[in-house]
Amino acid sequence: MKKNSLILVLLLLICTSVFAQDELPIRIPDTEIKSLPSLYNKSLQTNLEKELKMNPKWKKLILEKKMAVGVVDLSDPDNTRFARINGNHMMYAASLPKIAILLAAMDAIDKGQLKETKEVKDDMRLMISKSNNQASTRMIDRVGYKKIEDVMTDPKYAFYDEHKGGGLWVGKRYGSGGDTNREPLKNLSHAATVTQVCRYYYLLANGKLVNEKRSKQMLAIMENPDLHHKFVNTLDRIAPHARLFRKSGSWRTYHSDSILVWGEDPDRRYILVALIDDASGEQIIRDLVKPVEKVLKKRISLVSN
């Protein structure tokens, strides 16, 4: 009888562990979270470069550093894989860095520096899902440039690092007028690198932005985007039942998108980030999804190289 009870308990623990990994955020202890660059995978990198450079225009943009792409394979949380092209090349990213405002606001709320009113919650959703500039500016004014900078440069996150090409930065309201706080390397007002954005989503997916409670709130705000262009346009067709957590941006020739895809099939669970400086950037981003998914399916081994 004791043996049967022990077997039942073990089966329950195994099922609980599997179920937990099927949820978001992924429940991995803090001590087991690795730095994303340490999860760089040579096979994924080689296949990604080969696939994208088959397109002559993409190859040219990559060589000119006008196209940056980052991918994180989350199909097996115990064997996460990361690859990037022009990963630390910082570019103007328009509305994509609004995710920095979201994190700064959540950090401020958690520390009692910002009251979580209905207006604040509504503006955070409008800022991310609809990319509403007025709501974004109100959030910037509530938290302040210094708070955003402090959170982005906090050693806990290091989403902006002058020694690693910069990263996520918001130093201007999304509209005319007002003071600015541009980043120090390229004097950009709204900036990103694909590596730092991938790190943001990786920590978010694992419940490590502020804490699990705030990460869940951020995931809820970022899920089901109201704008169905770029990555979402393609995923609506090829993966209509996948959960999508997303923030994009566009201004003139600068087009960016970032997404956490969480499909019913574990093989379709990944982070994808793209920064493009080209007039056809929106279409390029749409067209990126299928070749990237093709690369992700070429799993030679689940053992990290």
Residue-wise pLDDT tens digits, 256-298: 999 999 999 999 999 999 999 999 999 999 999 999 999 999 8
**For residues 113-134, average pLDDT:** 98
Residue 303 has pLDDT above 60, yes or no: no
Give the residue with greater pLDDT, 141 vs 302.
141
Answer for the pair 53, 62: CB distance below 8 angstroms, yes or no: yes
One DSSP character per residue, 92-128 reads E-TTTTHHHHHHHHHHHHHTTSS---HHHHHHHHHHH
Predicted confidence (pLDDT) per residue in 135-171, tens digit: 999 999 999 999 999 999 999 999 999 999 999 999 9
| Percentage of the chain modeled with pLDDT above 90 | 87
In this predicted structure, what is the pLDDT of residue 132? 98
**If we measure between CA atoms, which residue out of 128, 110, 91, 104 comes closest to residue 219?**
128
Predicted confidence (pLDDT) per residue in 174-225, tens digit: 998 899 999 999 999 999 999 999 999 999 999 999 999 999 999 999 999 9
What does CATH list as the number for 28-296? 3.40.710.10
Residue 20 has pLDDT above 60, yes or no: no
**For residues 37-51, average pLDDT:** 98
Predicted confidence (pLDDT) per residue in 62-74, tens digit: 999 999 999 999 9
Compute the distance between CA of residue 219 and CA of residue 83 in angstroms, rounded to an integer.
Answer: 23
Predicted confidence (pLDDT) per residue in 224-247, tens digit: 999 999 999 999 999 999 999 999
Residue 302 has pLDDT above 90, yes or no: no
In the chain, domain spans? 28-296
Reading phi first (left if > 0) and then psi (alpha if -120 to 50, else beta), residue 54 is in alpha
In this predicted structure, what is the pLDDT of residue 15? 39
Residue 245: CB atoms within 10 A of its CB come to 23
235's enclosing H/E stretch is helix 230-238
In this predicted structure, what is the pLDDT of residue 299? 74
* Beta strands across the sheet bearing 169-170: 91-92, 190-192, 169-170
Average pLDDT, the chain: 92
| Percentage of the chain modeled with pLDDT above 70 | 91
